[in-house]
Amino acid sequence: MSHTALINEQLPWHSACQEQLYSYIDNERIPHALILSGQEGVGKLLLAQQISHLLLCDSPNDRQACGLCYACKLIEAETHPDLIVINPEEEGKTISIDRIRSLEQTLTLKPHYAKQRIVLINPAHKLNRNAANALLKTLEEPGENNLFLLITDQLESLPATICSRCQTILVPKPTRNDACNWLKLRLPNKDISRLISIASGSPFKALELSESGVEKDYELLESIWAELVTGKTDPVIATSKIEKVHLQHIIEWTTRWVIQLIQVQFDPDKDQREINASLKDSQGELDLRKLFSLLDQLLQAKKLLGSSVNRQLMVEAIFISWSNIKPN
Ligand SMILES: [Zn+2]
């Protein structure tokens, strides 16, 4: 589903952020640079697009773009000259300095059509170091009519110098109920609760994952985790069984489970719907210190994703730690 189809949709978990953004607009005090930060799949891009459309539309109505004017038509056709979108050229790649240099040239000119020009950088943490330095110079002298919208789910990876030049808005995760209700309308025949768990509570990510048939991978990993902790399989065999599952998913899902298991140790009354069903029986017998150590290991592994890691060794090491998670 394209975001264009959702452009006028008001998501309940966005309302506080939207109010903040609308108040900037109503008072004509929009910061020249905003960071929209939040977990992957909570709709940060949609929010950025909604604000961009509202600002560029010729006759906005009730805080929404009209969808009918010339500006709205240009936006819909992705040809509005005053809405500049900067993405990595290929998925997984960084944003290069060339992209920011060509932006600098454009910014010296007045906006073509609108009063304002919007530069949407997504994801901003993909700016490479040189590109980030170049952008910093631009943010120091952004020009009167330019608004920068930086989107990221890894705020900690953005240089502090860039963050200090921007106003950061945290886009929250929806409640589980809001996420399920939103997704149910779009995927009436799916196991919504499971999809939301797979996507760590992010509805847009759940929507994307449902199209990739990833639920089977999740089930496989769930069963392997239960087998490992009960000693029914060993880490080497388990690693070979899971060869086809995306490494990023293995890391993400297991990190999520470990965090949930840690939370339950501190608060046994916590909502347990998200916890891997097959782990529920053993959660009382886990070693908290080892859980924290496994969490560290997973966070380190996450940092290495995308570099040339030895997948087999990484997964085996995680499985070894997990299979020893009970107290000695
Ligand atoms: Zn319009």
- Write the CA distances from 260 to 154, 199, 231, 236, 267, integer angstroms: 21, 14, 21, 25, 10
CA 288 to chain centre: 28
Q: CA-CA distance, 56 to 35, in Å (whole number)? A: 19
Q: Are 148 and 166 in contact (CB under 8 A)?
A: yes
Element (H, E) at 119: strand 117-121
Determine how many CB atoms are found less than 10 A away from the CB of residue 80.
23
Cα 5 to middle of ligand 1, angstroms: 15
Cα 29 to middle of ligand 1, angstroms: 21
Element (H, E) at 167: strand 167-170
Question: 230: which 2 tokens?
Answer: 């009960």
Q: Which amino acid is it at 127?
A: L
Question: What integer pLDDT is reported at residue 77 of this predicted model?
Answer: 92
Domains annotated on the chain, with CATH: 3-170 (3.40.50.300), 214-323 (1.20.272)
Cα 62 to middle of ligand 1, angstroms: 12
Q: Are 158 and 35 in contact (CB under 8 A)?
A: yes
CA 192 to chain centre: 19
Cα 229 to middle of ligand 1, angstroms: 57
Cα 82 to middle of ligand 1, angstroms: 14
Residues contacting residue 35 through CB under 8 Å, at least 6 positions apart: 124, 150, 151, 152, 155, 158, 163, 166, 167, 168, 169
Q: What is the pLDDT along the chain (328 residues), one digit of tens a residue?
A: 445 567 778 899 999 999 999 999 989 899 999 999 999 999 999 999 999 999 999 999 888 899 999 999 999 999 999 999 999 988 878 999 999 999 988 888 888 887 889 999 999 999 999 999 999 999 998 888 899 999 999 999 999 999 999 999 999 999 999 999 999 999 988 889 889 988 888 999 999 888 887 888 998 999 999 899 888 999 999 999 999 999 999 999 999 889 888 888 887 776 665 565 656 666 567 889 999 999 999 999 998 887 888 999 999 999 999 999 888 7
Cα 68 to middle of ligand 1, angstroms: 5
Cα 59 to middle of ligand 1, angstroms: 5
Question: What integer pLDDT is reported at residue 1 of this predicted model?
Answer: 43
Question: 54: which 2 tokens?
Answer: 């509202």
Question: 252: which 2 tokens?
Answer: 């993400």
Q: In what order do the strands lie in the sheet with 117-121?
A: 83-86, 117-121, 146-152, 33-37, 167-170
Cα 30 to middle of ligand 1, angstroms: 20
Question: 304: which 2 tokens?
Answer: 């290495």
Q: Are 248 and 305 in contact (CB under 8 A)?
A: yes
Cα 1 to middle of ligand 1, angstroms: 22
Cα 195 to middle of ligand 1, angstroms: 35
* Cis before 123? omega within 30: yes
CA 71 to chain centre: 29
Question: What integer pLDDT is reported at residue 273 of this predicted model?
Answer: 57
- Write the CA distances from 8 to 65, 240, 247, 273, integer angstroms: 8, 46, 36, 31
Paired residues of 127 in beta bridges:
95
Question: What integer pLDDT is reported at residue 260 of this predicted model?
Answer: 85
